[in-house]
Structure formats: C-alpha cells, structure tokens
C-alpha cells in the first residue's frame, strides 16, 4: 500500500541502499544512477585501502585511520562505524548537506547500521532500502567469485552478514537480489515513487 507524502521539503531527499557485503547493492546503486541522472551519489569515507580501479573522491574518500578518528572526535560524520578493527566507514555531514542544499536527491551506498542511523536522523525525508541475497550460500558464492578476499575475510563477512540480516525489518523496503533484472526494476520503482512524493508504508 502506498500513501501520498506531505509537503515536499525544499531540501533534497535521501535514498539509502544498505546490505550485507556481497549482496549486490552497489550494482543496484550504479543502475539507479544511470536511470535517474538528477540523483547525486553520496561518496562515503573509509579508512580501508582502495581496491583495484577504485578512485578517491569517486568510490570513497580514502583517509587514514588517524584522520578518520580525528573527524569522529570533531563530529564531522552523519554516521560512522568501525566495521572491522581499524576499518572505518562513514558519511561526512559536509557531503550530505552540500548536495541537499542544492536541492538534489542524495543516494547512499552504506552498511546496514549506517543506513539505519541516516534513516533515524532524516526520518520521512529518507527512503531506506535493504538489499538481501536469496541465501547465505548464494552470498558466499558471490564473495568467493570476487577473488579479492582471503578465506579469513570471507568468513568474517559471512558472520557479519548473518547478523545484519536480522535488521531488514527496520528498513522501509526490501529487495531480494536473486534475479538482477527484477531487482533493478523493483529498486527503480521504489526510488521513483519516493522521489515523486509517494512512499511505501
């Protein structure tokens, strides 16, 4: 069931995509960006090293652990989390407010806890989308097919995924990413409805 939202805020809205690592949320985010050019991507900050082909300021803002901790102490993040020891992820307040003040809809690709923190902060101005794999077995296969993770890293990610799946009912909508074409269509439908003033209740 869908309901019409109240008066539109002059500031831009927020679209949050969150998921256990390997669920395919980044693929869906990239698809939304190609279909809705008026949407602006919120580049997160991280203390981890860049992967091959990742660019600073495009995929993430890559900063050192010490710099990240300093920004935490100065309350420069909308949300942040130490996902693994000394591996921080966060969303800079300055990034979000700059885009919103330009009237742009801001799109986030963040971890599960970070997504819920943003949703709690912005409330009805934000749509929180949870992307889940069809099963943990499928998720493990995807992580192994990346060929970028050690066995220890894969086990950590799977353990974390099992924990994060318990939070899906706290999100506005859930996309089960089994059939990619269907997942893309569902994601675009949810986002388009929300941007046009209609959200799922």
Q: How many domains does the chain have?
A: 1
**62-87 pLDDT, tens per residue?**
999 999 999 999 999 999 989 888 99
**168-177 pLDDT, tens per residue?**
999 999 999 8
Give the pLDDT confidence score for residue 63 in this predicted structure.
Answer: 96
Q: Report if residue 166 sits inside a domain.
A: yes
Give the pLDDT confidence score for residue 162 in this predicted structure.
Answer: 83
Confidence class for position 4, pLDDT limits 50, 70, 90 = very low
Beta-carbon count within 10 A of 56 CB = 11
Q: Report if residue 76 sits inside a domain.
A: yes
**Residue 137: what are its φ and ψ, rounded to 5°?**
-60, -40
Q: Report if residue 144 sits inside a domain.
A: yes
Whole-angstrom distance, CA of residue 82 vs CA of residue 59: 18
Give the pLDDT confidence score for residue 200 in this predicted structure.
Answer: 57
3-state secondary structure of 40: strand
Mean pLDDT, range 19-39, rounded to an integer: 90
What are residue 129's DSSP bridge partners? 17, 173
**102-148 pLDDT, tens per residue?**
999 999 988 898 899 999 999 999 999 999 987 887 777 877 877 67
Confidence class for position 155, pLDDT limits 50, 70, 90 = confident
pTM above 0.75, yes or no: yes
Residue 8 above 70 pLDDT?
no
What are residue 105's DSSP bridge partners? 39
Segments forming the whole domain that contains residue 174? 11-195
Give percent of the chain with pLDDT exceeding 90: 54
In sequence order, the 6+-apart residues with CB closer than 8 A to the CB of 101 are 11, 12
Whole-angstrom distance, CA of residue 18 vs CA of residue 181: 18
Q: Domain holding 43: CATH number? A: 3.40.50.300
């Amino acid at each position: 069931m869908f309901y019409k939202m109240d008066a539109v805020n002059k500031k831009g809205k927020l679209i949050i995509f969150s998921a256990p690592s390997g669920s395919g949320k980044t693929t869906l985010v990239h698809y939304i960006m190609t279909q809705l050019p008026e949407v602006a991507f919120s580049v997160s900050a991280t203390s981890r090293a860049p992967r091959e082909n990742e660019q600073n300021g495009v995929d993430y803002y890559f900063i050192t652990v010490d710099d990240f901790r300093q920004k935490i102490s100065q309350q420069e993040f909308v949300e942040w989390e130490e996902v693994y020891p000394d591996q921080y992820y966060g969303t800079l307040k300055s990034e979000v407010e700059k885009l919103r003040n330009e009237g742009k809809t801001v799109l986030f690709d963040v971890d599960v806890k970070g997504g819920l923190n943003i949703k709690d902060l912005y409330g009805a101005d934000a749509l929180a989308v949870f992307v889940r794999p069809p099963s943990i077995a499928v998720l493990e296969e995807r992580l192994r097919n990346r060929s970028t993770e050690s066995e220890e890293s894969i086990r950590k990610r799977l353990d974390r995924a099992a924990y994060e799946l318990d939070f899906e009912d706290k999100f506005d909508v859930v996309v089960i990413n089994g059939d990619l074409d269907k997942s893309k269509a569902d994601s675009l439908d949810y986002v388009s409805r929300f941007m046009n003033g209609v959200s799922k209740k």
